[in-house]
Every structure is written in structure tokens, then in C-alpha cells.
């Protein structure tokens, strides 16, 4: 295990003027990996349930938003806290090589997983070689 693996990254608060909801919003930590058929985006959104998720593709941008219910935190007087409570929002530019009609999303144990299938023309294909 390297020293880098032990470093804790601070939550990044969204400070752009786009924010329209009251309260703080944070950028969720995201992993993106690629297979031959798709891109998969995994975003950590602890405290967000599936009814509070909004995933949309608009004008070439994928936006993921999650709202955290604050009712569990009302009237608390924390002695010590490291976990900042707030909503999540993040935007990604999506290539035209993605099949927008087939994008899917699911929420499992506080992790949002968005599958972005590649368009057929971008997938590798085997080309047969003839003898003549």
C-alpha cells in the first residue's frame, strides 16, 4: 500500500453560479472505466436514495444530481464531524460516439452507476480477409 492510497481527499464544494438549490452541493467522487462496448461511470453519493437522484443528458452534457435528506441531521449538536452533509452535482461532456438512447443508471448502496453504451460504429469489429 502506498502513501498516496492513505491520503484522504477533501470534499470539493461546487462553487459555480449554476447552483439553484439552497444549501451546499458537492462533487461526488467518480470512477470511469471503459470496455469495448461501453463507458461506466460510478459516483459515490452516500445518503442519497434512488428517488432523490436525477440523471439527465441535455445538449451533449450528462448531469448527475443527488439530494440528501436533511431531516436526520436537524437539531443535532455534533461534538466532532468529518462528514459534510449536502447535495451532489456533477456534469460531464458526452461524446457523440455514445448511444444516448441506451444510457442506463442504477443506484446500489450509495453508489450511482451510469452505463454509457458506445454507438455501433465506434465498436471494434473483425474484418475478414479473403484469399482472392
Which pLDDT score is estimated for 75? Answer: 82
Which pLDDT score is estimated for 2? Answer: 47
Confidence of residue 127 (pLDDT cuts 50, 70, 90): confident
User: Rounded to an integer, what distance in angstroms lies between the CA atom of residue 106 and that of residue 70?
Assistant: 22
Confidence of residue 18 (pLDDT cuts 50, 70, 90): low
Topology (CATH level 3) of domain 24-71+80-122: Immunoglobulin-like (2.60.40)
Confidence of residue 15 (pLDDT cuts 50, 70, 90): low
SS3 of residue 25 by DSSP: strand
Helix or strand run (H / E) with residue 39 = strand 38-44
Domain edges within the chain: 24-71+80-122
Which residues is 89 bridged to in the sheet?
65
Q: What is the mean pLDDT of residues 18-36?
A: 80
Confidence of residue 1 (pLDDT cuts 50, 70, 90): very low
Which residues is 77 bridged to in the sheet?
none
> Could you read off the pLDDT of 28-69 as tens digits, one per residue?
999 999 998 999 999 999 888 889 999 999 999 999 999 988
Which pLDDT score is estimated for 12? Answer: 64
Q: Give percent helix, percent strand, percent coil of the chain, each to the nearest 5.
A: 10, 40, 50
Helix or strand run (H / E) with residue 6 = helix 3-6
> Could you read off the pLDDT of 65-121 as tens digits, one per residue?
999 887 777 788 778 777 777 889 999 999 889 999 999 999 999 999 999 999 988
Amino acid at each position: 500500500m502506498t502513501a498516496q492510497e492513505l491520503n484522504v481527499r477533501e470534499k470539493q464544494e461546487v462553487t459555480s453560479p449554476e447552483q439553484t438549490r439552497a444549501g451546499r452541493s458537492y462533487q461526488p467522487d467518480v470512477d470511469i472505466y471503459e470496455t469495448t462496448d461501453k463507458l461506466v461511470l460510478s459516483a459515490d453519493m452516500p445518503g442519497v436514495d434512488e428517488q432523490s437522484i436525477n440523471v439527465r443528458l441535455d445538449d451533449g452534457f450528462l448531469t448527475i444530481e443527488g439530494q440528501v435528506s436533511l431531516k436526520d441531521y436537524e437539531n443535532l449538536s455534533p461534538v466532532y464531524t468529518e462528514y459534510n452533509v449536502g447535495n451532489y452535482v456533477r456534469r460531464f461532456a458526452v461524446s457523440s460516439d455514445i448511444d444516448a438512447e441506451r444510457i442506463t443508471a442504477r443506484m446500489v448502496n450509495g453508489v450511482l452507476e451510469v452505463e454509457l453504451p458506445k454507438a455501433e460504429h465506434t465498436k471494434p469489429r473483425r474484418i475478414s480477409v479473403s484469399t482472392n
